[in-house]
Structure formats: C-alpha cells, structure tokens
C-alpha cells in the first residue's frame, strides 16, 4: 500500500525513539499521511539488539508506543498529546538490525479523555513483525513539558530529502 505524506512531525533531542542528540535513540522520523495514519522510518542498530541480529522486544515496544502516541498529535495538530496507560504487543517475527524498517500507527477509538490506537512494524518484504494496541490518556502539552523545554527540544529536522510517499 502506498501512503501519501501530508507532513513531517517534529523530533526531540533526547527521546529514546526520536531523539536526535541521543546516541542510543532509534532516531526515527515520523510522517503524517493523507489517510490519518502516522508512518515512521527507522533503522535499528547493533546497540538495540537482544539476541544476536534481532531487535530487542522492548525497543520494538517503544517505537510502537510512540507511533500510536503520535497519531493523536496528528489528529489535533499537536494540541493533544498521549500518555500511555496500557500497551499490548504481539511479536510475530524477529525484527532485523541495520536495515530501514517502517512502522504504521493510527487511532482506533476516542472516548472522553481516553483514546485507543494500533500499530505495526513492517518488514522489508511487507510482513508484519510486531503489532500493538494501546490505551492512552489525552494530555495538554503544559501537563507534560515546560514551555522552555518544548521551545528548545521539539523541532522539525529538515536535513533530509523530503518524503512524499511511503510504500508499505
């Protein structure tokens, strides 16, 4: 399936998943799609492994958590953020290291202050390696971060060739 990209989301400095200044981070980039999903591109490295040649399950969980959390930001143009209350994963196939992978996430329901979402890590051959569903509490940014932090550590990384389309 081809996803047409609407916009790129911000990265942070120190987040384990999207932190540009964190050497251990997955350094994932996130894109909002025309069909209200969020797609991420990331390349897991050797320091993210569990058993040899496979991504640690906790890291797989981290990127799936973040993609669902970011799907709510997309819906509310960054005025609503998600705090994870529950996350359930199904590890179907090992996730390889040192090759670019795709992750897709979306909101599946909203009820008051709670939203639910789902996401998948997709292997280069198109198979789903890990899937997740999660339940989150909506939060305003001032309940999570100071304005100073947001101003200094949440920014658009625009040093790459623009991505217009992602095929999953």
15 sits near ligand PKZ (criterion: CB under 6 A): yes
Q: Which of these ranges, 37-45, 50-58, 137-145, 155-163, lies near ligand PKZ under the rule CB under 6 A?
A: 137-145
Q: Which of these ranges, 21-29, 76-84, 121-129, 159-167, lies near ligand PKZ under the rule CB under 6 A?
A: 76-84
Contact 31, 38 (CB under 8 A): yes
Radius of gyration of the chain (CA): 15
Interface pick for ligand PKZ out of 24, 113, 156, 163 (rule CB under 6 A) = 113
Instruction: Round to whole Å and give the CA distance between 137 and 13.
Output: 23
Tokens at 59, concatenated: 């890291």
Instruction: Round to whole Å and give the CA distance between 56 and 40.
Output: 18
Instruction: Round to whole Å and give the CA distance between 134 and 85.
Output: 8
32 sits near ligand PKZ (criterion: CB under 6 A): no
Which chain residues interact with ligand PKZ by CB under 6 A? 12, 15, 18, 65-66, 69-70, 82-86, 112-114, 135, 137, 141, 145, 149-150, 153-154
């Amino acid at each position: 399936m081809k996803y047409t990209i609407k916009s790129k989301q911000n990265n942070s400095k120190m987040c384990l998943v999207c932190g540009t200044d964190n050497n251990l981070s997955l350094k994932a980039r996130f894109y909002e799609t025309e069909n209200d999903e969020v797609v991420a591109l990331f390349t897991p490295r050797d320091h993210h492994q569990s058993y040899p040649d496979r991504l640690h399950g906790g890291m797989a969980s981290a990127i799936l958590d973040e993609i669902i959390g970011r799907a709510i930001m997309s819906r509310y143009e960054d005025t609503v953020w998600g705090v994870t209350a529950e996350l359930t994963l199904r590890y179907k196939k090992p996730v390889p290291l040192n090759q670019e992978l795709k992750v897709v996430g979306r909101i599946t329901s909203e009820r008051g202050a709670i939203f639910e979402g789902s996401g998948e890590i997709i292997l280069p051959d198109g198979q789903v390696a890990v899937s997740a569903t999660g339940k989150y509490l909506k939060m305003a940014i001032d309940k999570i971060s100071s304005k100073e932090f947001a101003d200094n550590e949440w920014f658009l990384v625009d040093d790459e060739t623009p991505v217009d389309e992602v095929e999953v």
